[in-house]
Amino acid sequence: MRVIPFDVDQAGWNSTEIYPDGVKGPWNPDKWVIHYGGGSNKAGDNQDDDIAIEVSQSWQRWHIRGRGWQDIAYNYAISQAGTVFRLRGENRAGATRGDFDRDGIPENHEGRAVVFILGGNQVPTEEAYAAFREMWQADPLPVIGHQQVYQEGSRGTPTACPGSALMEWIGNGGYADSVEEGNMEKQFTDEEAAALKEMVRQMKEEVDPPSNPGYVAEAIKLIRRERSLPLHARSEEDCECVVEVFVNGVKQ
């Protein structure tokens, strides 16, 4: 089990649901899914963690009593002060509806959900961004915004979450800014190198169009553990990114 750093456990923010990390429902995280709280809230306007806790508690009440869910929907939360709160924690399925990868596995079984405690047009602080970077370095999987599950996957819910500021940050790979390039490189096996070269060849020549969901899913599985590519390769621009980042680094 991955050890994801956090600052405050469930008891520390007075969660009504307190349990240790442990498998509850299918859980095999292969990506981070970033959320925010919808409309603007008072926690997004300051760095007072007491207010962040108050907002988190209100979300938990709504998710349990209003939605009928087992707990607050997310695995972790980040305040504007950069404090990381453990919500559902590890090995507990989140509540991200839909199938981003189109691989038949819903995101609430494979997406580690992190909510920034803000909403609307509120912008994360540098402290909040830095907190997620540290979390991501503990398990450098691909990062997507909640809205992408609907826009690029299947069976998702239309949403603006996590807002324009976080979507821009995700698209720019801002969560990896503090990782030195030398730590981002990994060696491929000969088999992986051959498969990657073939994947790039097909993408470049459009032998099998990248828009094919099944093919994209296979490509994702090959490259998702690499830290250099924030989004899966689907557009032509992303295909070029795959070429640039990986081709020169694979075994000849």
The structural domains of the chain, with segments of one domain joined by +, span 11-179, 182-249
| Helix (H/G/I), strand (E/B), else coil: 115 | strand
**From the CB of residue 236, how many other CB atoms can be counted at a distance below 10 Å?**
12
pTM for the whole structure: 0.71
As a whole number of angstroms, the distance between CA 14 and CA 87 comes to 11
Low-confidence ranges of the chain (pLDDT < 70): 1-2, 22-26, 91, 177-252
For residue 143, the cross-strand partners are 32
- Cis before 162 (ω within 30): yes
DSSP state of 187: P
Question: pLDDT, tens digit, for every residue of 51-65?
Answer: 999 999 999 999 999
| Helix (H/G/I), strand (E/B), else coil: 2 | coil
Residues whose CB is less than 8 angstroms from the CB of residue 45 and which lie 6 or more positions away in sequence, other chains included: 122
Q: Give me the pLDDT at residue 192, please.
A: 59
Q: Give me the pLDDT at residue 249, please.
A: 40
Q: How is domain 11-179 classified at the CATH fold level?
A: Lysozyme-like (3.40.80)
Q: Give me the pLDDT at residue 82, please.
A: 96
What does pLDDT average to over the chain?
76
